[in-house]
């Protein structure tokens, strides 16, 4: 990945109390990837992650398995093992961003990718703080290396990563370079990350090898506290970061920031946060918004919901709800069928979007369907009704199925 590609990547956001509707914790991310790359949404069960396996085969390397893993919902490029973003059954949400450091990436051995680290942390962490610790351990032990793109994309490099982590109590931002990292605690308000380093010398935690690594690379004089961004950053500007912060500032002024506000940010194409297919060769290929009730105000029936698109361009993709429950089933509509690497690996929902016309994708019926569904879920999150008899095992599948059916309606007929 070269510096010219920095503008063509992702944005991740968190908004925390006291700025949110009902003191929700709200997470959002657009995954910007090569336009032709398919992003799928998958459910990872405990059996899938830990069933009598000694090792986990990540994208390029194996790492030892752990004794306890957690169920996850993941949005990921179909070609690789890791994930761009996701959440687990304990309400931990993680998203990553590409950052370009002064340490050359192309010369490194195969190691973990940022996407691998997102998935491993979600499978293994019960809290946001634990996820930060796991990310740090993985970075120090294995480092980052190996191609981060489908071999068919003609992009033969990769990148270092930053991560935004949230649960129902707090948020953390983690920034990395090869085998070193720093982390900053976000207790309230809002925060966003894009494709530049943002942590200077105000980090809360750091890797044990930070100073020795910086000295070894001749990037630190050994005197003052290391300014992480200044020390490791190879590029310093990102217009989307500034635009995203301005949107957050504007939308939190009333102290009632909502799920719909987060969705509106992810759909903002004027800022470039919603990346539309164009000359860059990159598109917002998948999006996620998660909403968690505060830890001190739990609803016995529903305390978190994760809305995912599984299709490109959030302006014309529906945010579909997923709620963890004992017998939850994702269904097959957003899962790509295993095939040769040269295949596009399309899943049924992606294929339906590809076939739909612009008029169908922008249908008011689709938007009304999405709005009504989100309003219903938000009502459940706000409710204190302990006798809620609703079940959510097939909620995501049912919504994706309805989206496909709505796209099939009123298809233009061919003129004779």
Walk along the chain (416 residues) and give the pLDDT tens digit of each residue.
333 343 357 999 999 999 999 999 999 999 999 998 999 999 999 766 555 578 999 999 999 999 999 999 999 999 999 999 999 999 999 999 999 999 998 889 999 999 999 999 999 999 999 999 999 999 999 999 999 998 777 777 899 999 999 999 999 999 999 999 999 999 999 999 999 999 999 999 999 999 999 999 999 999 899 999 999 998 767 899 999 999 999 999 999 999 999 999 999 999 999 999 766 788 999 999 999 998 777 655 789 999 999 999 999 999 999 999 999 999 999 999 876 455 678 999 999 999 999 999 999 999 999 999 999 999 999 987 766 657 899 999 999 999 999 998 865 554 43
193 is a domain residue: yes
Question: What is the token pair recorded at 19?
Answer: 């700025």
What are the two backbone dihedrals, phi and then psi, of residue 296, each rounded to the nearest 5 degrees? -90, 10
Torsions phi, psi of 233, nearest 5?
-75, 135
Q: Which helix (H) or strand (E) holds 387?
A: none
State the helix-helix crossing angle for 348-355 and 395-408, rounded to 10 degrees. 20
Give which of 148, 89, 141 is closest to 116, Cα–Cα: 148
Contact 267, 274 (CB under 8 A): yes
Q: What is the edge-to-edge ordering of all strands in the sheet holding 320-322?
A: 190-193, 11-15, 25-34, 282-292, 304-308, 320-322
Could you tell me the CA-to-CA distances from 209 to 71, 134, 139, 140, 354 in Å, in that order? Answer: 32, 16, 11, 8, 47
Confidence at residue 116, expressed as pLDDT on a 0 to 100 scale: 98
Give the CA distances from residue 408 to residues 205, 215, 371, in Å, rounded to whole numbers and listed in that order.
51, 60, 20
Please write the tens of the pLDDT for every residue from 5-50: 433 579 999 999 999 999 999 999 999 999 989 999 999 997 665 5
In a domain, 337, yes or no: yes
How far apart, in whole angstroms, are the C-alpha atoms of residue 314 and residue 395? 20
> From its phi and psi, is residue 218 left (phi > 0), alpha (psi between -120 and 50) or beta?
left
Can you give the C-alpha Rg of the chain in angstroms? 21
Contacts of 64 (CB under 8 A, 6+ apart): 54, 55, 56
| Neighbour-count burial of 393, counting CB atoms closer than 10 A to its CB (0-12 exposed, 13-18 middle, 19+ buried) | middle
Total domains present in the chain: 1
Q: How far is CA 28 from the centre of its chain?
A: 7
The residue with tokens 């500034």 is 242
Q: Which domain holds residue 52?
A: 10-408
Compute the distance between CA of residue 409 and CA of residue 414 in angstroms, rounded to an integer: 15
Pairing of strands 180-186, 171-177: antiparallel
Whole-number Å distance between alpha carbons of 121 and 75? 14
Residue 128 belongs to a domain with what CATH number? Answer: 3.60.60.10
Supply φ then ψ for residue 97, to 5 degrees.
-130, 145
In a domain, 4, yes or no: no
Residue 2, domain member (yes or no): no
Q: What is the pLDDT of residue 386?
A: 66
Where in 23-168 does DSSP place strands (E)? 25-34, 39-44, 55-57, 62-64, 72-77, 85-88, 93-99, 160-166
Contact (CB, 8 A) for 86 and 115: no
Is 1 inside any structural domain?
A: no
**Has residue 3 been placed in a domain?**
no
Q: What's residue 277's pLDDT?
A: 75
Residues 6+ apart with CB under 8 A from 389: none
Determine which one of 10, 72, 93, 148 is catalytic.
10
Nearest-5° angle of CA 99, CA 286, CA 395?
Answer: 135
**414: in domain:** no
For the entire predicted model, the pTM comes to 0.94
Residue at 133 is within a domain:
yes
Per DSSP, 132 falls in state H
In angstroms, the CA 104 to CA 125 distance is 30
Tell me which residue of 99, 98, 103 sits closest to 34, measured CA to CA: 98
Distance CA 224, CA 95 (A): 31
User: What separation in angstroms does the CA of 216 have from each of 179, 210, 211, 338, 372?
Assistant: 12, 10, 9, 43, 56
72 as an active site residue: the answer is no
């Amino acid at each position: 990945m070269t510096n010219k590609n920095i503008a063509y990547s992702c944005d991740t956001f968190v908004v925390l109390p006291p700025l949110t509707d009902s003191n929700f914790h709200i997470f959002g991310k657009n995954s910007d990837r090569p336009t032709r790359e398919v992003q799928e949404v998958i459910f990872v069960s405990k059996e899938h992650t830990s069933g009598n396996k000694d090792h986990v085969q990540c994208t390029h390397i194996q790492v030892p398995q752990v004794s306890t893993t957690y169920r996850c919902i993941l949005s990921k490029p179909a070609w690789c093992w890791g994930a761009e973003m996701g959440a687990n059954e304990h309400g931990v949400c993680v998203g990553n961003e590409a950052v370009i450091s002064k340490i050359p990436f192309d010369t490194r051995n195969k190691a973990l990718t940022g996407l691998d680290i997102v998935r491993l942390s979600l499978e293994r962490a019960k809290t946001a703080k634990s996820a930060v610790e796991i990310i740090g351990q993985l970075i120090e032990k294995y480092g980052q290396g190996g191609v981060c793109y489908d071999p068919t994309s003609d992009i033969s490099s990769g990148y270092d990563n930053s991560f935004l982590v949230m649960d129902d109590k707090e948020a953390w931002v983690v920034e990395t370079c090869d085998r070193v990292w720093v982390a900053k605690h976000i207790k309230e308000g809002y925060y966003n990350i894009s494709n530049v380093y943002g942590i200077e010398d105000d980090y809360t935690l750091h890797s044990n090898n930070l100073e020795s690594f910086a000295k070894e690379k001749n990037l630190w004089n050994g005197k003052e506290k290391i300014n992480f961004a200044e020390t490791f950053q190879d590029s310093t500007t990102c217009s989307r970061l500034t635009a995203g912060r301005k949107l957050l500032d504007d939308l939190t002024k009333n102290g009632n920031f909502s799920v719909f506000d987060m969705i509106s940010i992810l759909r903002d194409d004027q800022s470039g946060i919603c990346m539309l297919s164009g000359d860059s060769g990159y598109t917002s290929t998948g999006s996620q918004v998660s909403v968690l009730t505060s830890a001190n105000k739990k609803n016995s029936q529903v305390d978190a919901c994760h809305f995912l698109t599984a299709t490109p361009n959030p302006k014309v993709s529906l945010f579909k709800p997923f709620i963890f429950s004992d017998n939850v089933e994702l269904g097959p509509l957003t899962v790509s069928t295993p095939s040769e690497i040269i295949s596009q690996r399309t899943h049924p929902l992606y294929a339906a979007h590809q076939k739909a016309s612009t008029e169908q994708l922008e249908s008011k019926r689709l938007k009304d369907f999405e709005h009504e569904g989100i309003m219903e879920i938000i009502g459940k999150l706000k409710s204190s009704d302990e006798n809620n008899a609703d079940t959510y095992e097939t909620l995501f599948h049912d919504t994706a199925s309805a989206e496909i059916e709505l796209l099939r309606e009123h298809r233009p007929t061919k003129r004779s």
